[in-house]
Amino acid sequence: MMNLVRLMIVAAIWLGLAVSAQDELVDERILLTFIPNVQFAPFYVGVEDGYFADAGFNVSLAHLQEPEVLDLVAVGQANFGIVSGEQVILARSRGRDVVYVFEWFQKYPVGLVYSSALDLSDLANLQDMAIGIPGRFGASYSGLTTLLGSAGLSEADIDLREIGFNAPEVFCLGVIDAAIVYVNNEPLQINNLAADGDCGSVREVDVITVASQVDLVSNGLIVSRAYLEENPDAVARMVGGLAGALRSVIDNPAGAYLASLAHVDSLPADEALLKALESAAEEQVDFLASDPDRGDIARSRRRLAAELAERFDRAALTQLNVLLNTIELWDAENIGYSDLSSWEAMRDTLDSMGFLEDDAGSLQDAFSNRFVTGADW
Amino acid sequence: MGKVRLDESRHREMAAGLEVSLRRLAPFLTIACLLLLWQWISSRGIISHILVPPPADVYQAFIDSLADGTLLKHTVITLEEMLYGLLLGVGIGLAIGYAIAKAPILENILSPVIVAFQSTPIVAYAPLLVIWFGSGIASKIVTTAVIVFFPTLVNTIVGIRSVSPNLRDLMRSLKAGRWQIFRHLEAPSALPVILAGLKTSTTLAVIGAVVGEFVSQGSGLGYLVTSARNLYDTPLVVVAVLAMTAISLTLYGIVAYVEWRFLVWQRRASA
């Protein structure tokens, strides 16, 4: 009887502590773009592995179109959002006072995919080619303009076709010679189709990344200036939480894939793959305990990809490979840090596209490294 | 006594006239009230200008887009897609609808496909239409045709089947041929129902064209919405949406006028 009373007292204390810890967390919604996808793994890891909770937030995630994300953050209906840098410049020129506080993608994710049979060693060879693009907007259009500009070409020199987000299908039907795509995703899908003989005469594809030509600012975390000025501590904690989660994904992609399963319905996860990933994630924890450097960790990711490729078919590994490709766009010595020159390059691109009719204002007001500089994560 | 009766009658006539005038003015009064409410909300800052731009900004965007030709260019493209789509969808709907009405076995054969196609939201398979028909005008025409096809089909079947069997028998007894029965009995009898379907189709045609433009961009009012949205030009988004509404209302009005003109006999019969 005495034991039962003791047990009940302990349980009550434990429950009380748990509830009070829960109470301390602030509910916060982070607005993302696109749809739930393994490319958002840092946010899933942040939620599942407690990085946001450690930062004092009970985070929920929502997916919207980029302009909606930006407007809702600008008017204070959400405090945090993820958008590309170009959207920040455009929106600021239209009176939305938002600040970019953490550069998530260190490399611009857009590039040109084309059949390896084509000779595009000189980008000027793009002249008169049929090139597909989702539409004349967003990161794809900025990327194309930059690529063409770096080859001394303009839109008038190519046959530009708007194909929506259907690049793999349209490319493999042979309707276009090349397509502007997200380099971490579509080339993989096209290569899979080609390997199965479902991509016409194309056997393999190559990619020219925009990042290889010019450093353009890419996706990152934004807040409104009003929120930033009133809650700098909250912004610092959120940046810290996101940075921790991002570092965790970069260091242990197998673990990140497993954390993403709770958020992305369509992720392949049969029993054998799950076991392999759990085992890989555990081994990686031991490996990380040996304090490897960035290069060692990058090699460990390549090893993971190679080992899994021997045991599983391409379709089962596509999303994991998308994650591994995307990590290459995130990984950097100073994650989260934003360069003024990349903002200037983006502003110049938007200007050349005729998108900046209004004053873009000072670019130094558009972003801040104050939560990143000197941080240790 | 007679003067009192005359006054009462004049009073009733005036009241009736006032009611008619009020009913005619009612839509404009509703629009004016909405505009005033919109202006009031904007000027009080109840909703941020970022989310709901003031009417003055929308008006300025309308003038600017009209002056630089943007609005007209995209409106013409959407209209073109709609009209071709309407022609195709309504044409096929009329033909298949007539065939089904005359040969019920066709309904059993075709209905699974037609109902399956119709019960799936067009936005779900619009990307497939772009892949199949290309990113040019063809995919938008097909999207429009698919969406306007069903109301035309259903109304044609109902219209043709509603023709009185007695009248059909009467015409046959007068040795009327198939064409004569169609020309003088079936078409006039089914016309009110078919035109009602056409009114629905014209309003749906805007949805079809714009869905196509959202999926495969490049031109048209759907593209203008996306493009303006991506440039954070909310007033221009509102202008494009209002242009879609105007197109839809205009086409609806045209069909309603055609209905009014062609169905004189029906009104007379009712009178």
CA distance B216 to B29: 38
Smallest Cβ–Cβ distance between B50 and the set A75, A170, A173 belongs to A75
- A18 pLDDT tier (thresholds 50, 70, 90): very low
Percent of chain B surpassing pLDDT 70: 96
Contacts of A199 in chain B (CB under 8 A): none
Radius of gyration of chain B (CA): 24
What digits encode the pLDDT tens for the residues A336-366? 999 999 999 999 999 988 888 767 778 999 9
Out of A284-298, B46-60, B117-131, least confident range: B117-131
Does the distance separating the beta carbons of A136 and B135 come in below 8 Å?
no
Q: Do A162 and B218 touch (CB under 8 A)?
A: yes
Q: Across the interface, do B230 and A134 touch by the CB < 8 Å criterion?
A: no
Asked if the model's pLDDT at residue B259 lies above 80, the reply is yes
What burial class does residue B94 get, using C-beta atoms within 10 Å of its C-beta: 0-12 exposed, 13-18 middle, 19+ buried?
A: buried
Q: Residues B198-215: what's their mean pLDDT?
A: 91
Q: In this predicted structure, what is the pLDDT of residue B52? A: 87
Query: Which tokens in the block code for residue B212?
Result: 């196509």
Amino acid identity at A58:
N
Residues 6 or more apart from A285 whose CB is under 8 A from it?
Answer: A252, A255
Lowest mean pLDDT among A12-26, A46-60, A213-227: A12-26
Q: Degrees (nearest 5) of the Cα angle A272, A276, A279?
A: 140
Residue matched to tokens 């909300």: B41
In chain A, the percentage of residues whose pLDDT exceeds 70 is 92
Domains delineated in chain A: 25-107+218-330 (3.40.190.10), 110-212 (3.40.190.10)
Give chain A's mean pLDDT.
91
Nearest residue of chain A to residue B213 (CA atoms): A164
Q: pTM of the full predicted structure? A: 0.81
The 3-class SS string of B124-188 reads HHHHHHHHHHCCCHHHHHHHHHHHHHHHHHHHHHHHHHCCCHHHHHHHHHCCCCHHHHHHHHHHH
Residues of A with CB under 8 A from a CB of B: 65-67, 70-71, 74-75, 90-91, 93-96, 134-138, 161-166, 169-170, 173, 175, 355
DSSP B216: S
Does B7 or B163 have the greater pLDDT score? Answer: B163
User: For residue range A319-332, what is the model confidence (pLDDT) as tens digits?
Assistant: 999 999 999 999 99
Residue A264 has what pLDDT? 95
What is the CATH T-level fold of the domain B55-270, as seen in this structure?
A: MetI-like fold (1.10.3720)
CA atoms within 13 A on the CB side of A349: 31
Least confident range of A175-184, A324-333, B143-152, B164-173: B164-173
CA B110 to CA A287: how far, in whole Å? 63
Lowest model confidence (mean pLDDT) among A168-182, A338-352, B74-88, B215-229: B215-229
Contact B217 A136 (CB under 8 A): yes
The phi and psi torsions of A103 (rounded to 5 degrees) equal: -85, 105
Identify each DSSP E strand in A43-192 by its residue range.
57-63, 80-84, 98-103, 110-115, 130-133, 159-162, 178-182
What tens digit of pLDDT does each residue of B69-127 get?
999 999 999 999 999 999 999 999 999 999 999 998 998 898 888 888 778 888 888 88
Q: What's the confidence (pLDDT) of residue B129?
A: 86
Best residue in B230, B234, B237 to probe A by mutation, most A CBs within 10 Å? B230
CA dihedral A257, A262, A263, A266 (to 10 degrees): 70
The partner residue sitting opposite A162, judged by closest CB among B50, B217, B231, is B217
What ipTM does the predicted assembly reach?
0.71
For the record, the structure tokens of A225 come out as 């200036």
Euclidean distance between CA atoms A232 and B180, whole angstroms: 83
CA distance B9 to B18: 14
Over residues A229-257, the mean pLDDT reads 97
pLDDT score for B5: 66
pLDDT of residue B265: 72
Integer Cα distance of A190 and A169 in angstroms: 8
Tens of pLDDT, residues A189-215: 999 899 889 999 999 999 999 999 999
List, for residues A288-337, the tens digit of each pLDDT value.
999 999 999 999 999 999 999 999 998 899 999 999 999 999 999 999 99
Closest residue by Cα to residue A167 from A192, A206, A138, A131: A131
Task: Give contacts of A166 with chain B, Cβ < 8 Å.
Answer: 127, 130-131
Interface of B to A at Cβ within 8 Å reads 48-51, 127, 130-131, 134-135, 215-218, 223, 226-227, 229-233
Tokens representing B257?
Answer: 């006028």
